[in-house]
Structure 1
Amino acid sequence: MLFSEAKEKKFVSNHSSFPLLLVNMFLAMLGIGLVIPVLPQFLHEFGAGGQAAGYMVSCFGLTQFLFSPIAGTIADKYGRKPMIVLGLCLFALSNLTAAIADDLLLLFVSRLIGGAGSAALVPSIMAYAADITTNEQRTKVMSYIGASMSSGFIIGPGVGGLLAEYGMRAPFYASACIGVLAMIGSMIFLPESLSLEKRLTRQQSKEKKPNVFLQLALSIKSRFFVLLFLVFAVTFGLTHFEAIYPLYVVQKYGFTTRDIAILFTLCSLIATFNQVMLTTRLIRRFGEKKTINFTLLLSSISLVFLIFFGHFLYVMFITMLFFTCNNILRPTINTLLSKRAGEEQGFVAGMNNAYMSLGNIFGPALAGFLFDVQINLPYLFGALVLLVAYFVSVKWIERKKAVTSMEWN
């Protein structure tokens, strides 16, 4: 009880820093999606094809994958704030590099730098939020973080498309400037959430974490695995959807860059509003497990429905539905992971980000390849992945009911 009260007071004392966390998470995800609407123009300028579009998004996830567990461990030992500041610095550098890129190779380099920034930033923010909340507060807080994460990732293409009206490189210059301002703001106003005592204790610990590949192998046998798999599936589905979305709607339905920007912006705003209003209510009424299962199934169905009809309002509704499901899924899964993490918030958040980055790697790359084979294949395959995730989740719940020693909560 005393511990809970102390945590409550800690959250109240740090409440002023929480909006800054949300802004930082939003900027991190914004950087992932920013390039998507201008991809057709960039690819045309550099003489590249559809497969390059998938690889462009995938390479972001590569460095995100490699550095996420390392960044999570460092955040546990030396604090969340240094990694948050470093992540924002790398994001600014990534966007500046993209803005001055004069060939495809430099553009790829910028995305690799951005992935490293995400690896430093995302798990540190999630661990920071866990530091200042109780289990009772965790659902609501993770919902807000999920909203900032999903809306940034989804709004990115919309903002990129609108800013592209002022020049193809304008989105990158704007994002670089915002990243620098966020970095300075975090340096000045963001307090460290991890106590000095805990940092010193963990720094003196001689326990060594295995490398990222061994961690992934070990995670398969861990109590987190199904949740981590769901993180991968949800991210795979979203990046699979977004990576070739501009090319898809342009080639199949004749949409313009402005149409794409409007679609992403409006749908993301509506989806974010739905997520904030619905997530907590759905969890309270149905629980995390049923909420996850329902939204996974609905996400899979919405991907299939996208290929049937090209009317603008219909496409907008399907896009909004898919984004809403994704926005609800991410914080719900993150909440369960955070509750199970205990004292290893940074490490588990790092593994969470590693699985998310695997989705960022394989989702876009495979989408680009399938798009070149047949235009509808990316969405059919993405729907299949989400459907498999749905059945895995349902099976996991049935198993948990039978084996109480492996309960989710």
Structure 2
Amino acid sequence: MTEAQPASVPAAKSSVIFVFLVVLIDMLGFGIIMPVLPTLITQITGGSLSEAAVDAGWLAFAYAAMQFLFGPVIGNLSDRFGRRPVLLGALGGYAIAYTLMGFAPTLLWLFVARIVAGIMGASFSTAYAYIADITPPEKRSQNFGLIGAAFGLGFIFGPAIGGILGEYGVRLPFFAAGGLAALNLVFGFFMLRESLPKEKRRPFQLARANAVTALKGLGGQNRVVLWYAAALTIWMTGHVVYPVVFAFFAMESFGWSGITIGIALACVGIGAAIVQGLLIRVLIPRIGERNAVIIGAVSMAISTVFYVIAGPGQGWMIFVAIPIGALQGLFQPSINGLMSQAVSDDTQGELQGAVSSLQSIASVIGPPLFTAVFAAFTIPGALAYLPGAPFGLAGIIAAIALVVFLRGYAMHCHSDDVPPPAAEPVVP
């Protein structure tokens, strides 16, 4: 089959929409399994909910470790061979991984499936690079926000579908997720156009295909990228508390069923879709990336307080926290937009691959940390019974990320090597 032609400028809008659909279907598959994963682990292992949470943390650790090792490889391969083959290969990997999870008879089988997903599931960083290819620098933050909206919509429908399907069989959602990934692979094979012209590709260099080397190379252009990357890594360390702990927290604190958990996560998705798909496109031009990041970090810190203080019979507090926490969706797209403006066009894939690996570091650290905190505060004989403790820790981490970002932004404004960010708009 001949290589697809690069997407032209007039086709940029339709290409953005397609990548939006790619990420949306991926996130539908991810969201479908969230409400039922605790039940599947407890069925396989026969352990308690606290013990299952720890197992889930190590499953997430395995996934993130593979992302850390292979994320920069995938990003560099996309700079060499184009975005299209990498996106399609990642989709095939997801289809295999979810199917393996559906058949899993043992915990080891689940770990193998998560390792496969971690190696092949690099479509998100490549999707960001695809957007960077076809979008002018001044509009990248808004279009990165559209990709974030796909994440949100995946959380709207995915957990709700997973909760419903889980009522008919705890393994059914995993097969549904695998089917969605396979369907997306077929769709992309016929419809996805290449975004990176041959003249902008560069040779693959194995020495650059790791996070440390990649960021050293990018940091050689300017130090600003390293500060932004550090802030994003810290932020993601706190943010992973939601997909890893939420279902366990809701079952332990309020006795919620899979359907109720799915509804709550769907509300999270609605908030994310509104903020990243609509609000961010209005707010960033008015308040600027710096203020958007501040709002995102503060909103997360405030929302986590509700998780900490909510006791038995007070599940309604979570539905108060969700719309407040939705504004945290301003954080990552704004930093991504600033970072993409600070590097050259021919290293966008390398940037996103390196950032993906740093985010994987966060996902390596976060899941075992948060699930261990959850277990420590919920096991029999705990010094204090506080299922929301992991969320309190996440709020503190968000505040630290904000401090690091503000330092990097100050350097960006005074750097002689990097065009300064656009002047902060004056809000009337």
- Shared fold per TM-score greater than 0.5: yes
Give the equivalent residue in structure 2 for 1:261: 262
Whole-Å separation in 2 of the counterparts to 1:217 and 1:64: 19
Whole-Å separation in 2 of the counterparts to 1:25 and 1:336: 22
Give the letter aligned to residue 39 of structure 2. Q
Contact 2:307 2:392 in 1 (8 A): no
Whole-Å separation in 2 of the counterparts to 1:118 and 1:130: 19
Whole-Å separation in 2 of the counterparts to 1:59 and 1:196: 35
Q: Deviations over 1:150-179 (max 9, x none)?
A: 443675444322321221111111111111
1:132 to 131, 134, 148: 134
Give the equivalent residue in structure 2 for 1:346: 349
Is residue 106 of structure 2 the alignment partner of residue 94 of structure 1? no
Greater CA drift, 78-87 or 53-62: 53-62
Give the letter aligned to residue 68 of structure 2. F
Whole-Å separation in 2 of the counterparts to 1:274 and 1:247: 26
Give the letter aligned to residue 191 of structure 1. R
Give the letter aligned to residue 358 of structure 2. Y
Higher share of residues assigned helix: 1
Give the equivalent residue in structure 2 for 1:60: 63
Whole-Å separation in 2 of the counterparts to 1:331 and 1:18: 15
Give the equivalent residue in structure 2 for 1:234: 235
Change (3 A) 1:209 1:398: closer
What is the CA distance between 1:10 and its match in structure 2?
A: 2.8
What is the CA distance between 1:18 and its match in structure 2?
A: 2.6
2:408 to 374, 393, 396: 396
1:77 to 75, 80, 87: 80
Give the letter aligned to residue 15 of structure 2. S
Contact 1:84 1:124 in 2 (8 A): yes
What is the CA distance between 1:72 and its match in structure 2?
A: 0.6
Give the equivalent residue in structure 2 for 1:22: 20
Secondary structure, aligned partner of 2:308 = coil
Give the letter aligned to residue 329 of structure 1. F
Give the letter aligned to residue 331 of structure 2. L
Whole-Å separation in 2 of the counterparts to 1:137 and 1:213: 28
Give the letter aligned to residue 242 of structure 1. P
Contact 1:271 1:327 in 2 (8 A): yes
Give the equivalent residue in structure 1 for 2:316: 313
Contact 1:126 1:349 in 2 (8 A): yes
Q: Deviations over 1:188-213 (max 9, x none)?
A: 111111112333xx23x879526444
Q: Deviations over 1:280-321 (max 9, x none)?
A: 222122110111012112211211222213533321121232
Is residue 149 of structure 2 the alignment partner of residue 165 of structure 1? no
Is residue 360 of structure 2 the alignment partner of residue 357 of structure 1? yes
Unaligned ranges ≥5, structure 1: 1-6
What is the CA distance between 1:219 and its match in structure 2?
A: 6.5
What is the CA distance between 1:259 and its match in structure 2?
A: 1.3
Give the letter aligned to residue 317 of structure 2. Y
Contact 1:271 1:321 in 2 (8 A): no
Give the letter aligned to residue 16 of structure 1. S
Is residue 145 of structure 2 the alignment partner of residue 143 of structure 1? yes
Whole-Å separation in 1 of the counterparts to 2:219 and 2:197: 31
Change (3 A) 1:229 1:156: farther
Q: Deviations over 1:354-400 (max 9, x none)?
A: 12222222211111111111233311211111111122223333444
| Count of aligned pairs | 397
Whole-Å separation in 2 of the counterparts to 1:215 and 1:136: 24
Change (3 A) 1:59 1:71: same
Contact 2:295 2:330 in 1 (8 A): no
Whole-Å separation in 2 of the counterparts to 1:34 and 1:65: 24
Give the equivalent residue in structure 2 for 1:209: 208
Cα RMSD of the aligned pairs, angstroms, is 2.5
Unaligned ranges ≥5, structure 2: 1-5, 378-386, 422-428
Alignment of structure 1 residues 105-120 onto 2, 5 Å = 105-119=108-122
Give the equivalent residue in structure 2 for 1:377: 389
Contact 2:302 2:324 in 1 (8 A): no
Change (3 A) 1:317 1:61: same
Change (3 A) 1:156 1:369: farther
Q: Deviations over 1:242-264 (max 9, x none)?
A: 31111112212232222111111
Give the letter aligned to residue 25 of structure 1. V
Whole-Å separation in 1 of the counterparts to 2:11 and 2:37: 43
Give the equivalent residue in structure 2 for 1:4: none
If the length of structure 1 is used for normalisation, what is the TM-score? Answer: 0.89
Whole-Å separation in 1 of the counterparts to 2:179 and 2:141: 32
Give the letter aligned to residue 209 of structure 1. R
If the length of structure 2 is used for normalisation, what is the TM-score? Answer: 0.85
Greater CA drift, 67-76 or 184-193: 184-193
Whole-Å separation in 1 of the counterparts to 2:321 and 2:205: 51
Secondary structure, aligned partner of 2:282 = helix
Give the equivalent residue in structure 2 for 1:224: 225
What is the CA distance between 1:408 and its match in structure 2?
A: 5.5
What is the CA distance between 1:22 and its match in structure 2?
A: 1.0
Greater CA drift, 140-149 or 381-390: 140-149
Is residue 198 of structure 2 the alignment partner of residue 186 of structure 1? no
Is residue 276 of structure 2 the alignment partner of residue 278 of structure 1? no
Greater CA drift, 62-71 or 393-402: 393-402
Change (3 A) 1:105 1:313: same
Give the letter aligned to residue 194 of structure 1. L
Whole-Å separation in 2 of the counterparts to 1:164 and 1:320: 26
Contact 1:150 1:326 in 2 (8 A): no
